[in-house]
Amino acid sequence: MAEVFVFLVSLSAVIVGADWLGNAATYFAKKLSLPKILIGATFVSIATTGPEIVIAFFSGIGREPAIGLGTALGSPLVNIGLILGLLLFFSKARVDEPHYTRTIQIFLLVLATVFFLSITGTITPISGFALFLVGIFYLLLEFFISKNEQGIIEGVESRFWRLKSFFSRKNNLQVFYFIAGAILLLGGAHFLVGSAATIAAIFGIPEIVIGFVAIAFGTSLPELFFAVNAILRRRTELSVGNLFGASILDLTLALGLIGILGGFTVRPYILYLTIGTAALLSILALSPVFGKFRPKVIGIISIAIYFGFLIWFGKVCI
């Protein structure tokens, strides 16, 4: 079917565009002699959640908030359920305790904020603006705190730094990749939202399910790829704190943007169980730090919770 093809091509364009744009942005920032920690805590962190933010924007202006909502809520569960679970199970992922624990604690506070602002199942433009400000505050907080924590650099860096070891590009091509990445990201997100809405209508699938399952998983594929690569190469220095950092930005910048552009309403129990599941996964993720359970055990439980939630979500929504 043509719409399925457009959906897959658009999703691929969003993923590739975000990677190109992120690589080029970090290159220019380094050329300007900006501190590496500033690049990691701001440019790279924002670029990591670029697909979710841009999808949220187009779903908001296109009056299809359910697609952006599903993506913004689904991506954190992919990050801290499936991907983190795989890392904990298959590798000896080094946990940078100060940054790791702080990021989880902030994520739990963000979950509580989202719950409070959406307790009736509705996010208003004012609530969305508040969430967006929380995301900006988080970026500033990470930057200022990390000045005193050299170890945080590995924690906030994402797939864009690691791509350097896989692909090499000449300096004079960075402008092309920056522009092309922006075009692919923006254009891909525009057609992705439209095709997702059409597919939902044709097959009778709620738009929030398309966003929660297909798009959220698709935009997290680069993180999943590098997690698998880290496992195969036994890169034990891999820090997992950025998975929570990206999830914080999903729930603040992306979710807030949907609210600002018109708000949304969803069945309250969907939000409650989603937030509760994310909170449970976060608490489990703290267990290896305090030596309560073996990482492999936590990894298995986290992956099981993620797929169990998807099964429940599919049954109640379809």
Q: What is the mean pLDDT of the chain?
A: 78
97-128 residue pLDDT tens: 666 778 888 999 999 999 999 888 888 999 99
- Longest pairwise C-alpha distance within the chain: 54
Alpha-carbon distance of 115 to 122, in angstroms, equals: 10
Would you call 264 helix, strand, or coil by DSSP?
A: strand
Q: What is the pTM of this model?
A: 0.80
64-90 residue pLDDT tens: 888 889 899 999 999 899 988 888 887
Alpha-carbon distance of 207 to 38, in angstroms, equals: 37
The CA-atom distances, in angstroms, between 144 and each of 31, 90, 92, 131, 252 are 22, 33, 29, 20, 19
pLDDT at 1: 65
Q: Domains plus CATH for the chain?
A: 2-317 (1.20.1420.30)
Q: Which residue has the higher pLDDT, 258 or 28?
A: 258
Alpha-carbon distance of 138 to 192, in angstroms, equals: 29
Cα angle value 226/239/250 (rounded, 5°): 75
The residue written with tokens 């946990």 in the block is: 95
pLDDT at 157: 45
The residue written with tokens 């989202």 in the block is: 114
Q: Residue 217: name the closest of 22, 44, 77, 55 by CA.
A: 77
pLDDT at 92 over 50: yes
The end-to-end CA distance of the chain, in Å, is: 21
